[in-house]
Amino acid sequence: MNTLLLSYPDLQDVVRRVGIDRLMDQLIDRLTAALVSYDADRTEIPVRAGFHYETPITGLIEWMPLLQKHSSVLMKVVGYHPESPDTLQLPTILSVLSKYDPNTGHLVAIVDGTFLTAMRTGAASAIASRVLAKPDSRTLGLIGCGAQAVTQLHAIGRSFRLTDVLIFDADESAMDTFPGRVEAFVSPEVNIRPVSLVDLVASSDIISVATSVPIGQGPVFQAGETRPWLHVNAVGSDFPGKIELPGALLQRSYVCPDTLDQAIREGECQQLVTDQIGADIVQVTRRAAYYASKRNQRTVFDSTGWALEDQVALDLLLEYAEEYGIGSSIPIESVSGDPRDTYEFLRQTDDRDRDDVAAPVKLRS
Amino acid sequence: MNTLLLSYPDLQDVVRRVGIDRLMDQLIDRLTAALVSYDADRTEIPVRAGFHYETPITGLIEWMPLLQKHSSVLMKVVGYHPESPDTLQLPTILSVLSKYDPNTGHLVAIVDGTFLTAMRTGAASAIASRVLAKPDSRTLGLIGCGAQAVTQLHAIGRSFRLTDVLIFDADESAMDTFPGRVEAFVSPEVNIRPVSLVDLVASSDIISVATSVPIGQGPVFQAGETRPWLHVNAVGSDFPGKIELPGALLQRSYVCPDTLDQAIREGECQQLVTDQIGADIVQVTRRAAYYASKRNQRTVFDSTGWALEDQVALDLLLEYAEEYGIGSSIPIESVSGDPRDTYEFLRQTDDRDRDDVAAPVKLRS
C-alpha cells in the first residue's frame, strides 16, 4: 500500500531520459488518441471548482478531479497567482497531481503538476492547430512570454515548420529572456523577435495567447488586421471575467472550446452566445478531416484547461518512471494488519530504529 | 519550496511521542475552540463532492476542500469502500490530507488522513456528547465495531467516566476483536461486552453508531425503548440514501447536525424536515450552557464529517511533527530559478550524481 512519489529531481530524470521532444511528441499523440476515444460514460470530469480571493493577493486554488471508471481517479490541485513571478520568483501556476485507486481509495502516486500543466497545455494547442491552422503555417505569434509560452512554441514547433516566432509581452524582461528559455528545442534558423502587438496580430499564421491579464481588464489586444486564415490558441482565459481576445475577432472566427460548459463559464466563450460556439476539441479531433475545412478561415481554440489532458500527461510520465524505476515508494496511509485496528501501532513494541522504517524506499534511478 | 511529507511511520512516531490520550485531549480542546471561533467569512468550506460508483465495487472518492483565508488550504481526499476490510484487508475509509499555501499555491504538507479522520470523528462525537449527554453517563453503546468505533470509545471515554461499553456488530469477528483493539487506552475496569441490539439501545446513556450499512438498507436498529436522556452520535450516515437511525427516534430527539446543508443531503437529517432540525455543532458548542438544557431529553448528533475537523487535526499533528523534527522535506513542484523558465533543467549540465539530488531530505527524528 505504498505511494509512488516523484520528486522534482525524479521528474527531471524521467524527462531527460525520455528526451523533451520525444515526450512532447508522445504526449500530443496520446492526447489526440484520448480525445478521439473520449467517452463521457467512462470518464467523469466535473467542471472544476475552487477558491478565489483578492486579498492579501489575487489568486485562486482549484481542484480538477477526473474518474476513469474502474481504473483511476486523478485529483489535480492547481494554484494561479499572477503576482508570484515578480514578487516571489515563483511560477504563476503551481500544481500537484495525485492518482487514486477507485477500488480502494488508495493514493497511488503523487507528482508535480506544474511542468505537466505547461506540457499538456502546449500539446492541446498543437492538436487544435493541427486541425484548424493551415498546415503550411510558418509564423507563430506569442502574446505573453511566460512559462506557458515555452511549451506553446515547443508543441506547435513539433507540428509546423516554423520560420518566424513573433513575441510580445507587456513585461520587456520576459521578451528578453524568451529566446534563451527555448534554445533547448528551437532550431537556430528560427527567427524569434519582439514586435508590436499590431504587427504580431497582423503577420502571424498562428497565435498563442497566454497572459495573466487581470479579470475585467481584457482583451489583451484589439481586433485589427489579421491573416484571413489566422488560428488563435487562447490559453489564458480560465476564470469568470478573465478574457484575452477581442470580441470582434471571436465573432468572425470559428471557435472550438476544449470543454463547452467550462469555456462558457471561464473561457473566451464568455463573450459568445451558444450558437456562436463551434464543435469542441473532442469532436474536432475525432472528425479532423471534416473540420480541416475551417483552415481557410479564422479559428480560435478556447483552451481553458481540462483534466483529461492532465491525466494523459500523468499516465505517460508514470509509465516512464516505472520503466526507468525512478521515484520513491512510501507508505503514507494508516494501514495496519487488521483494517479495523486504528491504534494497532500503539501496541507494537518500539525497540526498532524508527528511521529504518520511516525512510522512503528509493527505487533504482 | 519543499513539501513536508509525513509517512505513516512518521505519523506513528509523532503519535507515540505525544501520547494517544494527550493527542485526543488536545484535539478535543482544539476542535472545541475552532467551533467556538468558527467564522464563515474567514473559513470557506464548500459542501463536499465526489465520485460514487456501484461497479465493479461499491465505493466513493470525495474531496473536501477548506480555505482558511490568508493562511492555508486543506484538500482532503477520502475514499469509502465498505467491502475493503473483508475482501482486501484494507480500511473502509482511506484518506490523504494535503495542505496548500493560498499565497502561492504551493503544496506545504502531505500526510495520511485515515488515522486523523478516525480521531477527529471521535473528537467531534465527544464534543457533542459533552454538551448534549448527561455528564454522569456511564454506559456507552457502540453499534458497529470497526475502525471508527475505536476512536468513538477513546474520545468519549476521555470525556465521561464510563463503566460499561455495550457493543454490537453484524459481523461477529468485529465484536470478538474489539476489546483487544481498545486495550491501549481503556481501563481494565471498564466492562466491554456484546449485547443484543435491543438491549444496547435500551441500556445505553450514549450510543455511537458507525456502520457500513448500504444505501437504502437502513436503519440499523428499530426504534424501541431507550433511556429518556439517550444521546446518539450518528457517525455513519454520510451519503445520500444512507441512514442508520430509525426515523421515529430522530423525531422524538433534539437533532444537532455538524453542518446543516450536508446533513440534509447526506446525514440522518435526510429523514427530517427543516423545522425538526436543531442548532448545528457550531452553535451548540458556542452556547454550551444553553444547549445543556437538552441533556434530559433524547438528543442526536448527526455527524456527516466536516473539513474543519480535519484541518484542526492536521494542524495539531503538523505542529508536533515540526516540534519533533519528524518528516521528510521533499521538492515536488517544478520550480526553477526563473519562474518563466519551464525547461531550465534541460540546459543544466548533467554530470552530478542524480541520486544525491533526488533523495528526500530526512529531518531529524
Identify the pLDDT of residue B355: 45
State pTM to two decimals.
Answer: 0.93
DSSP reduced 3-state for A325: coil
Identify the pLDDT of residue A348: 74
Q: Do A100 and B111 touch (CB under 8 A)?
A: no
Residue-range domains of chain A with CATH: 2-115+309-362 (3.30.1780.10), 132-305 (3.40.50.720)
Nearest by Cα to A101 from A11, A4, A27: A4
Beta bridge partners of B165: B140, B192
Q: Do A70 and B80 touch (CB under 8 A)?
A: no
Q: What is the mean pLDDT of chain B?
A: 94
- C-alpha B24/C-alpha B126 separation (Å) is 10
Size of interface A-B (CB pairs under 8 A): 311
Can you tell me the ipTM of this complex? 0.93
- Digit-by-digit pLDDT tens for chain A (365 residues) are 899 999 999 999 999 999 999 999 999 999 999 999 999 999 999 989 999 999 889 999 999 999 999 999 999 999 999 999 999 999 999 999 999 999 999 999 999 999 999 999 999 999 999 999 999 999 999 999 999 999 999 999 999 999 999 999 999 999 999 999 999 899 999 999 999 999 999 999 999 999 999 988 999 999 889 999 999 999 998 888 889 999 999 999 999 999 999 999 999 999 999 999 999 999 999 999 999 999 999 999 999 999 999 999 999 999 999 999 999 999 999 998 899 999 999 987 544 444 444 445 555 44
Identify the pLDDT of residue A240: 87
Q: Do A147 and B339 touch (CB under 8 A)?
A: yes
Element (H, E) at A206: strand A206-209
- C-alpha A148/C-alpha B316 separation (Å) is 38
pLDDT at B360 over 60: no
Quick: pLDDT tens for A132-184: 999 999 999 999 999 999 999 999 999 999 999 999 999 999 999 999 999 98
Give the CA angle between residues B240, B243, B246 to the nearest 5°: 145
SS (H, E, C) B246-264: CHHHHHCCEEEECCHHHHH
Peptide bond between residue B65 and the one before it cis (omega within 30 degrees of 0): no
Alpha-carbon Rg for chain A, nearest whole angstrom, is: 22
Quick: pLDDT tens for B85-128: 999 999 999 999 999 999 999 999 999 999 999 999 999 999 99
Asked if B54 reaches chain A (Cβ–Cβ under 8 Å), the answer is: no
Contact A226, A200 (CB under 8 A): no
Q: Do B341 and A118 touch (CB under 8 A)?
A: no
Of A88, A114, A362, the CB nearest to B334: A114
pLDDT higher for B355 or B209?
A: B209
Percent of chain B with pLDDT over 70: 95
Q: b or e along B83-119 (b: 16 or more beta carbons within 10 Å of the residue's beta carbon)?
A: ebbeeeebbbbbbbbbbbbbbbbbbbbbbbbbbbbbb
Asked if A56 reaches chain B (Cβ–Cβ under 8 Å), the answer is: yes
DSSP reduced 3-state for A96: strand
Identify the pLDDT of residue A365: 41
Q: Classify residue A154 as exposed, middle or buried by CB count within 10 Å of its CB (0-12, 13-18, 19+).
A: buried
In chain B, the residue whose alpha carbon lies closest to the alpha carbon of A17 is B346
What single-letter DSSP state applies at residue B277? B
Identify the pLDDT of residue B239: 83
Asked if A19 reaches chain B (Cβ–Cβ under 8 Å), the answer is: no
Of B51, B69, B104, the CB nearest to A81: B104
- C-alpha A278/C-alpha A255 separation (Å) is 5
Identify the pLDDT of residue A349: 57
